[in-house]
Chain A
Amino acid sequence: MANDREILREVWEGKLPISFQLDPDEVVELQQPDQFYLMVPRLSYFPLVTDKVRKHFLRYVANDKQDREMWLEYDGQPIKWHYPIGVLFDLLITSDDQLPWNITVHFDKFPENQIYRFNNKETVESYFMACLKEADVLKHRGQIASNMQKKDHNQLWLGLQNDKFEQFWAVNRKLMEVSSEQEHFKYIPFRCYIDDGYRQKLIKPVAEDGRRKTLQDLINEMFPGRNVNIKTHGMIPPLETPLQWMSEHLSYPDNFLHLCVQM
């Protein structure tokens, strides 16, 4: 179980200022709508925080477009809603000078071939829970998540959706536990984002000789012989950070470390 609780809180409270703007070509009113500003949690997903954005812009678009699924674009690319917001920011924005993050809102021409539709929040929920279960397969052979009750799963989801740290961590701490004889996870759940996708491999938190592996070891195993930096939660963790500690403290709510690779 994580010991540095302040860090969990700090990571949880990470927020990003975003300025949403409706695509001017979709405005049918004489007057252009104002931009819509929001502070959004890095750990959340766009479909969970953009109801107000939709409401704000809805009356400016054509009647027959109002029922369509809203989608977001940055720098000419549709935004993948199923990545956590903080991951998207770390991947797409290279400098904090670019704050607030300017995102364009669309109701028309959904890019079917580039992003998934999400229909409703249940889609996001089932996606999130599936990621969480996968992480538990890597950490504990799936034993903890599968032995949880439905109400525990609901509590994790509601904690995330409603931005309630205590509610979420009351259950998530069980997923972060290590067995008494092991003192570490079986494998570290992580995704390394690179080339418009991500890579995943089996990496143990401890070496054959019992030494605790670090972020440097992960880089060596994923990208042998290459000099890379890893960014997560808007920061570049020291390469000597132990992987087990990272997994317990810097994982996103889906229990994965999301690592943006900078070559």
Chain B
Amino acid sequence: MSDAPAENKGAEDSLQSLQSLNINDVGETSTDPENHKNDKQKIDILLKPTGNAPIMKKKKWTVDGDKPISWIAEFMKRYMKLEPQEKLFLYVNQTFAPSPDQVMKNLYDCYSTEGKLVLHYCKTPAWG
């Protein structure tokens, strides 16, 4: 949990601290056998930096459809070796920050283009 400093509690900061939280998977996410294989669907994502964000060497990733956005954000912070107090903002459609518990499959189903989901990331709030 990255605690934002007390004097800087802007709404966007708070959102980031939500996004970067990693809620660990406790057991199976789905108990619905019929849709089980859908949950294991792999999603292609493309990560694009904006503003002052560091560039990731590998931009294309394949992730499990049931992974929440907070998991992706945590992974990216580790991959880019950001300091724990540094912030990372993720956006869909260059418009909105997805809910931290939103899973990749839902985002893919609603917002993918040409077979992949594009996520923009930056270290300061970009769209909001």
Contact = CB atoms under 8 A, between A and B. Distances in A.
A133 interface: yes
A125 interface: yes
Nearest to A146: B95
Give the 5 A-B CB pairs with smallest separation, nearest first. Answer: A123-B14, A126-B11, A126-B15, A133-B96, A200-B106
B109 A137 contact: no
Contacts, number: 100
A143 B106 CA distance: 22
B106 A129 contact: no
Given A194-B32, A195-B32, A201 B110 contact: yes
A139 to B, nearest CB: 12
Contact of B93 (A113, A114, A125, A137): A137
B103 A142 contact: no
A134 B98 contact: yes
A193 B103 CA distance: 13
A77 to B, nearest CB: 11
Interface string A168-204: 0000000000000000000100000011111111100
A138 interface: yes
Contacts of A198: 106
A238 B44 CA distance: 38
B110 A202 contact: yes
A199 B29 CA distance: 12
Contacts of B21: 116-117
Nearest to B96: A133
B9 interface: yes
Contacts of B14: 118-120, 122-123, 125-127
Contacts of B1: 112, 117
A82 interface: yes
A173 to B, nearest CB: 21
Given A123-B14, A202-B110, A116 B23 contact: yes
A197 B128 contact: no
Given A117-B1, A133-B95, A199 B18 contact: no
A122 B11 contact: yes
A100 to B, nearest CB: 28
